[in-house]
Amino acid sequence: MIPAAFEYYRPKDMTGVLSLLGEHGDNARVIAGGHSLIPMMKLRMADVPHLIDLQGVGGLDDIELSANSIRIGAMVTQHDIIDHNGLASAAPILREAALQIADPQVRYMGTVGGNVANGDPGNDMPGLMQCLDATFTVVGLDGERDIPARQFYEAAYMTAREDEEVLTSITMLIPAGGYAYEKQKRKIGDYATAAAAVLLTKEGNTCKSASIAMTNLSDIPVYSEEAGAALVGSSLDDTAIKAAVTAVLGDIDPSEDNRGPVAFKKHLAGVILRRAIERAWSRA
């Protein structure tokens, strides 16, 4: 549990970060809260000769709320998310999800930016951000660019971010309607056996919009457009929910691990999704 030797940098600004990344390419990694990367380094599963700490870079830890949008800096911690009352009233699903991540000690250090950027299929924020249709802003030597969360993830630990780029912020529209982040895990601190993020709006008794994403049921988060579409226009009767579940089951691709075999995970994904939909609907 001791990492291989590495060089540690703590630049004072993003220019310094980008210049180091430019110099060392894929031999360098930036570190935010370190709660994914450091364990990987200690297990010697990640070899990072040059480690660039973002803690010294200013301007990355703000939560900005405007009339209809939210901007979260990459260095905002899970605890900051939970602690921010304005954010909790604008987008309560963020607090509901953050409270189900790891444990309080980890949440004091773990950042939202690190959580979404690392590409770990077990992380909760990627699926949540896909559900919220958030946009990730990354910066490189050639300037900034925006990548939709729904197009960010390519494979486990593989994302649309280039090695020389740094994820700096997450923006999203303030979601309307009902919400739920439903997660089953074996114990506190565990990754999801299955988790579902659901946002719904209703008009009268009809579902007007629906957004559904699943966590840790594939090597990337799974945003299921078809599942959302199955609910829109319905009154969320059993048939509609079953159609949404069927759609999600077609999109996920869980693998067996100590949390259980594939058949269990598929069944559980359906149960968790149904519960999330019902809870979101009750809040819509």
Partner 1 sequence: MKDEVESREDRVAGLKGMGCSRKRVEDARFTQGKGNYVDDLKLDGMLFGDFVRSPYAHARIVNIDTEAALKVPGVLAVLTAKDLEPLGLHWMPTLAGDKQMVLADGKVLFQGQEVAYVVVQDRYAAADGIEAVEVDYEELPVLVNPFEALKSDVVLREDLLAEDGSIPDGAHGPRKHHNHIFTWEAGDKDPTLEVIDNADVVAEETMYYHRTHPCPLETCGCVASMDKVNGKLTLWGTFQAPHAIRTVVSLISGIEEHNIRVISPDIGGGFGNKVGAYPGYVCSVVASIVTGKPVKWIEDRMDNLMTTAFARDYHMTGRIAATKEGKITGVHCSVTADHGGFDACADPTKFPAGFMNICTGSYDIPTAYLEVDGVYTNKAPGGVSYRCSFRVTEAVYFIERMIEVLAIKLNMDAAELRRINFIKKEQFPYQAALGWEYDSGDYHTAWDKALKAVDYDGLRAEQAQRVEDFKAGKTRKLMGIGLTFFTEIVGAGPVKNCDILGLGMFDSCEIRIHPTGSAIARLGTISQGQGHATTFAQILASEIGLPADSITIEEGDTDTAPYGLGTYGSRSTPVAGAATAMAGRKIRAKAQMIAAYLLEVHDDDVEFDVDRFAVKGAPEKFKTMNEIAFAAYNQAIPGIEPGLEAVSYYDPPNMTYPFGAYVCVMDIDVDTGVPVIRRFYALDDCGTRINPMIIEGQVHGGLTEALAVALGQEIAYDDMGNVKTGTLMDFFLPTAWEVPNYETDHTVTPSPHHPIGAKGVGESPHVGGVPCFSNAVQDAFRPFGNTHTNMPHDHWRIWKTANELGLHG
Distance CA 140, CA 260 (A): 41
SS3 144: strand
Q: Which stretch binds partner 1 (CB under 8 A): 47-55, 109-117, 216-224, 263-271?
A: 263-271
Q: Is the Cα dihedral 78, 83, 87, 88 positive or negative?
A: positive
Minimum distance from CB of 21 to partner 1 (Å)? Answer: 26
**Considering the rule CB under 8 A, would residue 261 count as an interface residue with partner 1?**
yes
Q: Measuring CA to CA, which residue among 283, 39, 51 is closest to residue 179?
A: 283
Minimum distance from CB of 82 to partner 1 (Å)? Answer: 16
Task: Compare residues 9 and 264 and give the one whose CB is closer to partner 1.
Answer: 264
**Considering the rule CB under 8 A, would residue 45 count as an interface residue with partner 1?**
no
**Considering the rule CB under 8 A, would residue 53 count as an interface residue with partner 1?**
no
How crowded is residue 159: how many other Cβ atoms within 10 Å of its Cβ? 22
Q: Spell out where the chain has E strands.
A: 7-9, 28-31, 50-53, 63-65, 69-73, 135-140, 143-148, 153-155, 158-159, 166-173, 178-184, 194-203, 206-215, 222-223
Among 129, 134, 244, 272, binds partner 1 (CB under 8 A): 272
Is there a contact between 91 and 98 (Cβ–Cβ < 8 Å)? no
Q: Measuring CA to CA, which residue among 275, 203, 267, 200 is closest to residue 230?
A: 200
Q: Which stretch binds partner 1 (CB under 8 A): 66-74, 186-194, 195-203, 234-242?
A: 186-194
Among 171, 226, 264, 278, binds partner 1 (CB under 8 A): 264
Task: Compare residues 45 and 67 and give the one whose CB is closer to partner 1.
Answer: 45
**Considering the rule CB under 8 A, would residue 268 count as an interface residue with partner 1?**
yes
**Considering the rule CB under 8 A, would residue 245 count as an interface residue with partner 1?**
no
Minimum distance from CB of 61 to partner 1 (Å)? Answer: 28
List of residues contacting partner 1 (CB under 8 A): 1-5, 44, 103, 184, 186-191, 193, 258-261, 264, 267-268, 271-272
